């Protein structure tokens, strides 16, 4: 059900601009707090609330606010190749925003997948700019037609999380235009997003927040962007320059770079003129109008609530299932339920629902369904067995208030944080808060601001005896006491600070002996940092700790042996592997393509696959490709991504054949990262120089691997690939239309294809259309590029014709010398098929012939 969007009441923004004082205009140029803009009560100008995120609307709390619906990650949505589904999810997210009182969502992420090691790839769509741009366009339309603003991010070239707050990136103009800016351009021109967020990255010598070229010349000037430009949280790097370059809003608030004093002095000195100040304030006011804020001027914020809608459950399950990609199937799938009575579901993710990745995508889901949950619910009379099979801890799990018998000194489940104005914790705490688990951060807890020290405590009753494994880290020097004795002393601040904020750090470990049934008073004493953060100002003078624990029995158990033993007993074995949100997350790229941790999951799969007579189905839940050294030994491989709160049910739907898999890979799947064109120039490679060069140019993803067919570097699975439980043929029918220097900008080429379901099951085919540059081209260009696709549902034996259209942009490349787009003279071959693999493609009889080369402006 779509939110009924009521057009906003007309507001005379220009009159408001005239009525606002200079100081009031300045106030509008930065946030009021972490999630809101300023209100100007004198003129009845309301505030506006924003919220993360791309796969669900979290609200103001990072971890423990009211629950929310968790949708599949954008990479899973991209794998559907379904534009209509993307729009439906946008509609649903708008309804979710209403429950959290949000008017603008900080999504979607439209940066590309430069490397499979990208920690935030799951949150973005694809390596291909067209697939990204068109899906994001429908997502944005779905949000905004329902009255909630979209914020496309992160503009621009935010493909790396390592050192993202400081890394200097060098990107040549042609790849910048063709690969990294192209998705933004598509969404701006086709969907008119209400907002755009700048990235942390420094690109070609400038912070994006201060880049006149990116913000004024390209985004506003060439593309005609009419929305608001805001900074990523803490990414503003200048005061005067960012205002003059076109950054409308510094987030979060209160202002750091745009304090009233700084901006007023710059205005009085003539470094910021009135026209510029009015333009920045106007953008904020226009956003308020679009979001209908002048129609609802309540001063009290809307109470955040949890609304678990049945129709959203259904949509999440549908989208999750349609995004699943069947990568290998030796005839074991779909499963026939009457052929098995016992099922072994093993692996670290068998009972761990992989709903979302980490960072801004973190969500307090209404619920999460694992594959084990789904199977036991569907087959209550079958013998469903479970074994963990491998440990994949990056940090040890926190001690929970209820589950781990942790209680505060006042008897509440959880952990008590007491904040003091004194460094020695003398006097009474000025503020206290109870947290459900053994971690906290003050950055999202406004009443704690101004603290000088913290005591964090709980009484723990362990269930097992043993020499347990404990992990501890703090933003500032801190001491951990257990029953009054010093157990761990962190003498230096944890760096980088944002690692602790995102809870994915490799923290120090130690061992401690606990006895079951005995109570242990756990107390952390820390002094707040006295120096600014080493990275980002939103962490200045903030405190935070993480305390995790794993019992000796759990850590030292023969988890692989237990899983193998179950597989020997079962009629059917499903191995659930992948990554948790601690491994795949904002602010951290991955070190390799291997599954974590230390080969444990690969060893699990290999040992089970080696068992005689055991059919092995592997379900992998990650945001992108991983190494698969066992691929030739397993019977089936299912790529499940991060499927939202219904992920377990969606996977089971596909395994049973209730849903015929129709997902297609939105990225290339290399055999090894060493085969990628960027190798040696990404992520950890930039740690020493704090700089990275996009050495591969436009050869990103399949554009590079198309040149590797027949070599050891050809991909494991190509872009656009995916199996089905039926079979399809895709045949070219014809190509119509022409392009010339005289063609209007909207002129298009139409490619007609005939798609036939040649199998015995209904299913969905994805007919993909690629175009090749002329053989006579004098410019080095990739062998082909995706120009469109059609997804078609067919019954067994059914045939349909469909048309895929594309415009001049799909034939053009960026000409550095002429500073414009160029369409070359010559024959451009057209290929149609089921993936980017040459053996899956057929060339049309007639291509697109350009009689005369021509150019057009950006």
Pull the structure tokens for residue 493.
């601040």
> How many whole angstroms separate alpha carbon 400 and alpha carbon 412?
12
3-state secondary structure of 385: strand
Return d(Cα 724, Cα 612) in angstroms, integer: 27
Q: Where are the alpha helices (DSSP H) in 162-259?
A: 173-175, 182-191, 212, 240-245
The CATH number of the domain holding residue 852 is 2.60.40.10
Residue 488: which H helix or E strand, with range?
Answer: strand 485-490
Q: How far is residue 142's CA from residue 181's CA, in Å, rounded to a whole number? A: 22
Our count of domains for the chain comes to 4
Q: Residue 95 in contact with residue 1, Cβ under 8 Å?
A: yes
Q: How far are the Cα atoms of 24, 210, 217, 272, 695 from residue 241, in angstroms, in the given order?
A: 20, 6, 15, 9, 29
304 domain residue, yes or no? no
- What b/e string do you get for 428-437 counting C-beta neighbours within 10 Å, with b at 16 or more? ebebebebbb
What's the pTM value of the predicted model, to 2 decimals?
0.96
- CA 555/CA 247 separation, integer angstroms: 50
Report if residue 692 sits inside a domain: no
Cα separations in angstroms, 762 against 322, 338, 481, 727, 801:
14, 22, 63, 10, 17
* Domain membership of residue 428 as a residue range: 406-555
On whether residue 718 sits in a domain, the answer given is no
Please check whether residues 524 and 418 belong to one and the same domain.
yes
Nearest to residue 132, comparing CAs of 169, 104, 158?
A: 158
Q: Are residues 18 and 144 in the same domain?
A: yes
> Is position 720 within any domain?
no
CA distance 264 to 453: 35
Distance CA 701, CA 782 (A): 10
Contact between 842 and 731 under an 8 Å Cβ cutoff? The reply is yes
- Do 470 and 388 fall into the same domain? no
Q: Are 768 and 719 contacting, i.e. CB atoms less than 8 angstroms apart?
A: no
d(C-alpha 367, C-alpha 67), whole Å: 8
Pair (62, 144) in one structural domain: yes
Residue 187, SS3 per DSSP: helix
* Residue 265 and residue 151 share a domain: yes
* Domain finish residue from 638, 659, 675: 675
Specify the 3-state DSSP secondary structure of 31: strand
**Do the Cβ atoms of 608 and 564 come closer than 8 Å?**
yes
Sequence-separated (6 or more) residues with CB below 8 Å from residue 214: 155, 156, 198, 203, 208
Phi-psi group of 816: left, alpha or beta (phi > 0 → left; psi -120 to 50 → alpha; rest → beta): alpha
The pair of structure tokens assigned to 628 is: 């698969």
Q: Of 530, 555, 580, which residue constitutes the final position of a domain?
A: 555
DSSP annotation string for 210-230: G-HIIIIIIIIIIT---SEEE
CATH number at residue 537: 2.60.120.260
Residues 669, 614 share a domain? yes
Bridge partners of 717, per DSSP, are 669
In a domain, 703, yes or no: no
Please indicate, yes or no, if residue 361 is contained in any of the structural domains: no
For residue 209, what is the DSSP state? G
Q: How far apart are CA 457 and CA 482, in angstroms?
A: 10
Examine the domain organization and report whether 823 and 765 are in the same domain: yes
Sheet holding 202-203, edge to edge: 206-207, 202-203, 168-170, 691-693
DSSP strand E in 64-140: where? 104-105
Q: Walk along the chain (858 residues) in steps of 10 and give the mean pLDDT of each run.
A: 64 96 98 96 95 93 91 98 98 97 97 97 98 98 97 96 91 98 98 97 93 98 98 94 98 95 97 98 97 80 92 98 98 94 97 93 95 97 97 92 88 95 94 94 89 96 96 92 96 68 70 96 93 79 92 96 97 96 92 95 98 95 98 98 98 98 98 97 92 97 97 97 98 95 91 98 98 92 98 98 96 95 97 98 96 94
In terms of domains, do 547 and 630 share one?
no
Quick one: 238 and 333 in the same domain? no
Q: Is residue 504 part of a domain?
A: yes
What is the DSSP code string of 251-266? SSSSPSSS-HHHHHHH
Cis peptide before 337 (omega within 30 of 0): no
Tell me the Cα Rg of the chain: 27
pLDDT tens readout for residues 197-240: 999 989 999 999 999 999 999 999 999 999 999 999 999 999 99
Strands (DSSP E) along 737-815, which ranges?
Answer: 748-757, 763-771, 785-794, 799-807, 813-815
- Phi, psi for residue 664 in degrees, rounded to 5: -130, 145
- Cβ count within 10 A of residue 818: 9
Whether the bond into 597 is cis, omega within 30 of 0: yes
Where residue 642 sits, what CATH number does that domain have? Answer: 3.40.50.1700
3-state secondary structure of 169: strand
Query: What 3 state SS string does 717-757 have?
Result: ECCCCCECCCCEEEEEEEEECCCCCCCCCCCEEEEEEEEEE
Specify if 702 maps to a domain.
Answer: no
* Residues 547 and 411 reside in one and the same domain: yes
| Nearest-angstrom CA–CA distance, 671 and 714 | 8
CATH of the domain at 195: 3.20.20.300
The position carrying tokens 């979302």 is 356
Name the DSSP letter for residue 299: S
Helices (H), 666-806: 702-705
| 8 A C-beta contact, residue 593 and residue 637 | no
- Shared domain for 287 and 377, answered yes or no, is no
**pLDDT at residue number 5:** 64
Cα 419 to Cα 691: distance, rounded to the nearest angstrom: 40
Q: What is the pLDDT of residue 1?
A: 42
Catalytic residues: 232
CA angle 452, 454, 458 (to 5 degrees): 175
Q: Closest by alpha carbon to 53, among 61, 41, 43?
A: 61
1 neighbors 88 (Cβ within 8 angstroms):
no
| Rounded Cα distance, 384 and 374, in Å | 11
pLDDT at position 297, please? 65
* Pair (543, 578) in one structural domain: no
Residue for token digits 């074994």?
387
Structural contact between residues 62 and 362, judged by C-beta atoms closer than 8 angstroms: yes
Task: Report d(CA 152, CA 228) in Å as an integer.
Answer: 11
Question: Domain ends where: 675, 695, 719?
Answer: 675
Cβ of 125: how many Cβ atoms within 10 Å? 32
Distance of alpha carbon 182 from its chain centroid, rounded? 19
Residue 71 in tokens = 């949708």
At 500 the pLDDT is 56
């Amino acid at each position: 059900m779509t939110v009924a969007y009521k057009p906003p009441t007309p507001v005379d923004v220009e009159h408001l601009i005239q009525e606002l004082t200079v100081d009031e205009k300045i106030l509008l140029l930065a946030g009021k707090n972490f999630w809101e803009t300023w209100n100007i009560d004198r003129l009845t100008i309301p505030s506006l609330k924003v919220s993360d995120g791309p796969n669900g609307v979290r609200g103001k709390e990072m971890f423990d606010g009211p629950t929310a619906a968790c949708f599949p990650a954008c990479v899973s949505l991209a794998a559907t190749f379904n534009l209509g589904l993307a729009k439906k999810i946008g509609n649903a997210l708008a309804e979710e925003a209403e429950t959290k009182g949000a008017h603008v969502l900080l999504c979607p992420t439209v940066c590309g997948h430069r490397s499979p090691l990208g920690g935030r790839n799951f949150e973005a769509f694809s390596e291909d700019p067209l697939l990204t741009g068109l899906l994001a366009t429908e997502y944005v339309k779905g949000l905004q037609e329902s009255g909630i603003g979209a914020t496309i991010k992160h503009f621009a070239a935010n493909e790396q999380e390592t050192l993202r707050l400081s890394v200097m990136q060098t990107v040549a103009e042609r790849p910048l235009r063709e690969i990294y800016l192209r998705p933004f351009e598509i969404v701006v021109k086709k969907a008119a997003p209400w907002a755009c967020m700048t990235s942390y990255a420094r690109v070609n010598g400038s912070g994006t927040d201060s880049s006149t070229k990116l913000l004024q010349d390209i985004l506003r000037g060439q593309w005609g962007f009419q929305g608001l430009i805001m900074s990523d949280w803490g990414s503003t790097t200048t005061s005067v320059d960012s205002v003059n370059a076109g950054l409308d809003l510094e987030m979060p608030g209160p202002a750091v770079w745009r304090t009233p004093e700084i901006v007023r002095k710059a205005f009085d000195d003539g470094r910021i003129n009135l026209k510029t100040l009015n333009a920045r304030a106007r953008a904020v006011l226009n956003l308020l109008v679009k979001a209908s804020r002048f129609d609802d001027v309540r001063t009290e914020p809307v109470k955040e609530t949890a609304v678990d809608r049945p129709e959203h459950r259904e949509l999440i399950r549908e989208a999750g299932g349609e995004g699943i990609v069947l990568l290998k199937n030796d005839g074991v799938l779909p499963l026939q339920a009457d052929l098995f009575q016992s099922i072994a579901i093993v692996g670290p993710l068998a009972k761990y629902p992989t709903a979302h990745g980490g960072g801004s995508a973190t969500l307090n889901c209404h619920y999460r369904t694992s594959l084990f949950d789904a199977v036991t619910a569907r087959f209550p009379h079958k013998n469903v067995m479970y074994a963990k099979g491998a440990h994949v801890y990056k940090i040890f799990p926190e001690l929970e208030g209820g589950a781990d018998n942790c209680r505060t000194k006042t008897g509440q489940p959880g952990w008590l944080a007491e904040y003091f104005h004194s460094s020695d914790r003398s006097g009474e705490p000025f503020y206290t808060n109870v947290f459900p688990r053994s971690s906290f951060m003050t950055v999202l807890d406004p009443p704690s601001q101004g603290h000088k020290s913290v005591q964090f405590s709980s009484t723990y009753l362990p269930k097992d005896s043993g020499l347990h494994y404990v992990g501890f880290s703090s933003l500032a020097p801190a001491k951990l006491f257990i029953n009054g004795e010093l157990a761990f002393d962190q003498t230096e601040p944890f760096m980088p600070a944002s690692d602790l904020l995102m809870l994915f750090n490799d923290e120090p470990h130690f061992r401690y002996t606990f006895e079951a049934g005995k109570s242990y008073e756990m107390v952390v004493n820390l002094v707040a940092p006295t120096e600014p953060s080493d990275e980002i100002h939103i962490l200045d003078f903030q405190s935070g700790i993480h305390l995790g624990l794993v019992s000796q029995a759990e850590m030292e158990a023969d988890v692989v042996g237990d899983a193998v033993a179950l597989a020997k007993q079962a009629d059917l074995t499903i191995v659930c592997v992948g990554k948790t949100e601690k491994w795949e997350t904002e602010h951290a790229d991955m070190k390799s393509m291997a599954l974590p941790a230390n080969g444990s999951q690969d060893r699990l799969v290999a040992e089970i696959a080696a068992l005689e007579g055991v059919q092995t189905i592997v379900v992998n839940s990650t945001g992108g490709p991983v190494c698969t050294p066992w691929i030739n030994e397993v019977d089936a491989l299912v790529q499940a991504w991060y499927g939202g709160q219904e992920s377990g049910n969606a996977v089971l739907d596909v395994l049973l054949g209730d849903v015929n898999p129709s997902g297609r890979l939105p990225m290339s799947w290399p055999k090894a990262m060493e085969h990628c064109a960027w190798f040696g120039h990404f992520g950890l490679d930039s740690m020493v120089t704090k700089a990275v060069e996009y050495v591969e140019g436009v050869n990103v993803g399949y554009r590079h691997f198309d040149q590797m067919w027949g070599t050891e570097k050809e991909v494991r699975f190509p872009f656009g690939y995916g199996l089905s439980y039926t079979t399809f043929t895709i045949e070219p029918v014809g190509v119509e239309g022409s392009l010339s220097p005289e063609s209007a900008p909207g002129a298009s080429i139409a490619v007609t294809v005939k798609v036939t379901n040649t199998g015995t099951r209904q299913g969905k085919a994805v007919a993909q259309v690629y175009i090749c540059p002329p053989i006579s081209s004098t410019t080095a260009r990739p062998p082909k590029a995706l120009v469109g696709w059609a997804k078609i549902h067919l019954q067994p034996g059914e045939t349909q014709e469909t048309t895929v259209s594309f415009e001049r942009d799909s034939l053009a490349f960026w000409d550095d010398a002429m500073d414009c787009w160029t369409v070359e003279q010559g024959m451009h071959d057209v290929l149609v098929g089921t993936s980017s693999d040459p053996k899956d493609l057929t060339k049309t009889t007639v291509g697109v012939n350009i009689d005369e080369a021509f150019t057009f402006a950006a």
